[in-house]
Amino acid sequence: MSKPLQGQVVVTTRAKRQVGSMTTLLHALGGEVLEAPAVVIKPVDDLTRVDQALRNITEYDWLVFTSVNGVEATADRLRELGINITILHNLKLAAIGPATADRLRDFSLEPQVTPDEFVAESLADALRQHDLAGQRILLLRSNLARSALPEALTAMGTLCDDLPIYQTALPRALPDATLTELRAGRVHWITFTSSSTFNNFKTLLGHDADAVLRSVKLASIGPITSQAIRDAGFEPAVEAAEYTMEGLVTAIRDHVTRQPGN
Confidence class of residue 98 from pLDDT cuts 50, 70 and 90?
A: confident
- pLDDT above 80: residue 261: no
The Cα–Cα gap between 56 and 52 comes to 6
Asked if 57 and 91 count as a contact pair (C-beta separation under 8 A), the reply is yes
Pick the residue with more confidence: 120 or 228?
Answer: 228
User: How far are the Cα atoms of 27, 98, 139, 252 from residue 8, in angstroms, in the given order?
Assistant: 10, 27, 39, 10
pLDDT digits (tens, 9 = 90+) for 33-52: 999 999 999 999 999 999 99
Q: What are phi and psi of 175, to 5 degrees?
A: -60, 135
Nearest C-alpha neighbor of 127 from the set 107, 102, 155: 155
9-39+171-258 with 42-168: one CATH topology? yes
- What are the domain boundaries of the chain? 9-39+171-258, 42-168
Check: pTM over 0.85? Answer yes or no: no
Share of residues in the chain with pLDDT > 70 (%): 96
42-168: CATH number: 3.40.50.10090
pLDDT digits (tens, 9 = 90+) for 130-181: 989 999 999 999 998 888 889 999 999 999 999 999 998 899 999 999 999 9
Give the mean pLDDT of 5-15: 93
pLDDT digits (tens, 9 = 90+) for 182-200: 999 999 999 999 999 999 9
- pLDDT above 80: residue 118: no
Q: Which CATH architecture has domain 9-39+171-258?
A: 3-Layer(aba) Sandwich (3.40)
pLDDT digits (tens, 9 = 90+) for 65-83: 998 899 999 999 999 999 9
